[in-house]
Amino acid sequence: MPLRFSNTPRFSNTHRRSRRAIVAAAAAGALVLSAVGATVAYAQEDEPTDLIVNGDFADGTAPWWATENLTDQTVSGGEWCLDVPGETENAWDAIVGQNDLPLVAGESYELRFNARASAPLSVRTLIQRDVDPWPTAVEEFSVLDTEAQTFSYTFTASEDWSDAQLAFQIGRNAEPWQFCLSEVSLFTDAEPPVYDPDTGPRVRVNQVGYLSDGPKRATLVTEATEPVAWELGDSGGEVVATGETAVVGADDSSGESVHTIDFSEVTAAGEGFTLTADGETSYPFAIGGDLYSDLAVDAMSFYYPQRSGVAIDEAIAPGYGRDAGHVDVEPNLGDGAVPCFEDACDYTLDVTGGWYDAGDHGKYVVNGGISVAQLMSVYERAINAPTGDPDRLADGSLRIPEHGDGVPDVLDEARWEMEFLLSMQVPAGEELAGMAHHKIHDESWTGLPLMPADDPQPRYLYPPSTAATLNLAATAAQCARLFEPFDAEFAAQCASAAETAWAAALEHPDLYAPDTSPDGGGPYGDSNVTDEFYWAAAELFITTGEQSYADQLAASELHDGYEFGPGGFSWGDVTGVAKINLATVPNALPDRDMIVEQVVAGAEVYLGEQESSPWDLGYGSNGTFDWGSNSAVLNALTVVGAAYDLTGDRRYRDGVLVGLDYILGRNALGNSYVTGYGSHTSENQHSRWYANQLDPSLPNPPAGTLAGGPNTVTSTWDPVAQRWLTGCAPQWCYIDDIGSWSTNELTVNWNAPLAQVASFAAEQVAVAQSPSCEVEYRINGSWTDGFNAQVVVVNTGDEPLEDLTLRWAMPTGQSVASSWSAEVVQDGHLVTVSKLGGGYPLQPGQQYTFGFTGDKDARAAVKPASVTCTAG
Ligand code: 9MR
């Protein structure tokens, strides 16, 4: 019979305290010597007790119990076997257990049992109270095989419970099967569980790699108090660089003693480099120029299999094909005509589509809102930033079905969610017309695993909120300006929804989503919507140029003196999104310079935090890592990236690059939080359909999926985190277990900043800007509906510039009408200029001037965010 501990090898196998062994030895008369008397007395007082009655089934099945659907049972040879009917929906539709187990706070216990199944499958093993809301001390998914295995789970009780229950939830299977249980014990006096994950080599590196012309740093975990030597080896084992570590010493964030290694000087390129120091050799990594384009593509392609309302095509997402979720096909009740919770309205809405929020089947407007905004910003940055490269986002760039439509794929993916957000708006004629419902989700929480198409729950629209409405206004406004060249009708629909939502929010400024939710979904509560008003006004201003929105911005308490806080922004605090867009997307806000300064000041704060962290971590120096901390790390990096786009100061670019190290493995756990990116990566993110940990026939999450990350807010912890992470140093408050939703979920809003930062990093090598080409873009005059611009290009270098091409994104509301002295062509947002000076090379010191007239709407003509100059 194989002995199998749950979760091995990541955890040390746990054994009851040695005291128990002493008791056994004493009983056998093996203990002699004088000092032993006291030990034996002590041991006798604490003799471990088995709380389970009749765990060997010697007396039949009493006091065990089983749900009524488990009628066929046998006890034979100390084993209890039960026939489990098929076609139950939930794990808890068939349960066996034992009640009245007394647990004492602070005491540690070991639950041990043997179990087998007639076919391999997982069951849910719980130590809990059978009282709503079922407080849980152990929640484990035991993966059973046809041969009996031993399972052992240790835990420490956090409260006194006189009525704890051991329950095996064995429902949820389509086919009938047999469950067999034997040798069940729950001993007191166990060794407390020790979290002992595989942290790999003590030399912690970015397991993907380092850009040739970027910062290259690593962190060594060591008790050494003096610098130690390091060596960088290439894939052939040749030493290509050496140096000495810098001693840092005790580090609160990891709870460990560390040194740092800086090998930024190295410019060699290739795969399979390793760093060796203090007798440890790091995981391999690359050094090169184009290390992040795959990550950028995967982080964005993550969204396709999160789509609701459509079958996922195996050919497009290999390994992830599945039936459409929440269309009106049984057992789904479908999202085609969803009523309001508790009959709060007398209409239904068709809210089919959109993305599932996370590992659950809920769809939440505020979280979908910030996610779709950040995806749209991947595109908006690509067309506006000096290092932006929209070609990387072209039609065909992602693994999605909408190829050949001429629309950049990232916008196609965003549209999938945008259309869902639009559908959540209360129809005209209803009491709260124009407001957006806060969310739609199941009536009750479902168990894991559960494919979207198999969810049988009724689903409801939850009450409209001001926050959701302003999310709709902000994202629909951004949608309007970005889709304008690709689908004017859809852009107009977005524009109109944005304005309607804005007006509705002004009318109902304080419909707050509560912090607690009915069962079946997350609350996404938010009772401060000042930031949402600011964001919506910002996006509407950028898109329409209307003064009323500028007035709203100026009147907001968030306008002057704003300072970025830890982690930049989040679904509940969206001011930072507004600030970045106001600063980087062309617009005529009178005090836009002030906003630029706020963004740059925010970036400085994060750089400062990175500098004082031996992990170059720009987050968590106050000891707090929030739920989804990895997204906070990345959101802060988008602020730093914006500062680079605005100033061109390479310190910010390097800050973004070095900031990715932590996410990709240079951290206390030696873990890359992105599935498939590194030697040791998260792969058991909490999800109902990427539930490979529970059912080997299901996949792990796709490559490019970000895990939530360390969470120090213990009040929100799940049972798995409670069991394993108590007392953790901040960076250790994470476990790659599917049950740990508070540290290891995946969500649409966490992958969005990964997509942004990975795209930024990928673009750092994308654009072969000609360094000796200087461009001055002047608006020489403007009238009500037009302007003229003159552009001067100078060769400041020593070599002639041939085949000069300029490119910029036309600010919203402007377009090229006619041009002279060059060919000026506008395609979508992008203007491309060629044949300057008749197409002759631009000689050193020489300048070319060309010009054009443009059409514009009522607002002032503004310059593009940047002009890219390339030479052949
Ligand atoms: O990301 C959310 C986090 O900020 C909240 O603190 C937490 C508790 O309300 O909820 C998180 O969101 C979860 C949502 O409620 C349900 N879907 C999964 C989300 C990620 O864990």
pLDDT digits (tens, 9 = 90+) for 295-351: 999 999 999 999 999 999 999 999 999 999 999 999 999 999 999 999 999 999 999
Query: Percentages helix, strand, coil for the chain, rounded to the nearest 5?
Result: 30, 25, 45
* 177 in contact with ligand 1, CB cutoff 6 A: no
- Burial zone of 819 (CB within 10 Å; 0-12 exposed, 13-18 middle, 19+ buried): buried
- Best residue among 625, 745, 746 to mutate for probing ligand 1, ranked by most atoms within 8 Å of CB: 745
pTM (2 d.p.): 0.92
Residue listed under structure tokens 């990427």: 690
> Which is the catalytic residue, given 559, 686, 763, 829?
686
- Best residue among 442, 519, 524, 687 to mutate for probing ligand 1, ranked by most atoms within 8 Å of CB: 524
Asked whether the beta carbons of 178 and 148 are under 8 A apart, the reply is: no
What is the CA(402)–ligand 1 centre distance, in A? Answer: 30
**Annotation marks residue 680 as catalytic:** no
| Phi then psi dihedrals of residue 432, to 5 deg | -105, 40
Residues 6+ apart with CB under 8 A from 285: 205, 206, 207, 208, 209, 210, 273, 274
What is the CA(517)–ligand 1 centre distance, in A? Answer: 11
Q: Which two tokens stand for residue 41?
A: 């007395």
Asked whether the beta carbons of 494 and 371 are under 8 A apart, the reply is: no
What is the CA(384)–ligand 1 centre distance, in A? Answer: 32
Residue listed under structure tokens 């996949």: 699
Asked whether the beta carbons of 476 and 492 are under 8 A apart, the reply is: no
What is the CA(621)–ligand 1 centre distance, in A? Answer: 23
> Which is the catalytic residue, given 645, 661, 736, 737?
736
Asked whether the beta carbons of 748 and 357 are under 8 A apart, the reply is: yes
Of 420, 446, 416, 469, the closest CA to residue 333 belongs to 446
The residue whose CA is least distant from atom 19 of ligand 1 is: 358
* 531 in contact with ligand 1, CB cutoff 6 A: no
* 745 in contact with ligand 1, CB cutoff 6 A: yes
**Annotation marks residue 736 as catalytic:** yes
The residue whose CA is least distant from atom 16 of ligand 1 is: 522
What is the CA(365)–ligand 1 centre distance, in A? Answer: 13
- Best residue among 356, 367, 440, 717 to mutate for probing ligand 1, ranked by most atoms within 8 Å of CB: 367
State CA 847 to chain mean position distance. 48
Residue listed under structure tokens 């938010």: 526
* 522 in contact with ligand 1, CB cutoff 6 A: yes
3-state SS, 728-791, equals CCHHHCCCCCCCCHHHHECCHHHHHHHHHHHHHHHHCCCCCCCCCEEEEEEEEEEECCEEEEEE
Q: Which of ligand 1's atoms lies nearest the C-alpha of 521?
A: 16
* 526 in contact with ligand 1, CB cutoff 6 A: no
User: Three-state SS for 542?
Assistant: helix
User: What are the Cα distances from residue 154, in Å, to 167, 195, 600, 812?
Assistant: 15, 11, 49, 60
* 734 in contact with ligand 1, CB cutoff 6 A: no
What is the CA(84)–ligand 1 centre distance, in A? Answer: 34
Residues 6+ apart with CB under 8 A from 50: 185, 186, 187
In one-letter notation, the amino acid at residue 828 is: G
Q: Which of ligand 1's atoms lies nearest the C-alpha of 742?
A: 21
User: What are the Cα distances from residue 510, in Å, to 76, 467, 528, 565?
Assistant: 64, 9, 9, 24
For residue 1, the tally of other CB atoms under 10 A from its CB is: 9
What is the CA(461)–ligand 1 centre distance, in A? Answer: 18
Of 218, 224, 242, 222, the closest CA to residue 232 belongs to 242
Residues in the chain: 872
Tell me the angle at which helices 629-647 and 592-611 cross, rounded to the nearest 10 degrees.
120
CA distance 312 to 620: 38
**Annotation marks residue 745 as catalytic:** yes
Low-confidence ranges of the chain (pLDDT < 70): 1-46, 766-770
Q: Which domains does the chain have, with CATH numbers?
A: 32-188 (2.60.120.260), 203-288 (2.60.40.10), 293-765 (1.50.10.10), 770-870 (2.60.40.290)
Of 303, 347, 353, the closest CA to residue 328 belongs to 353
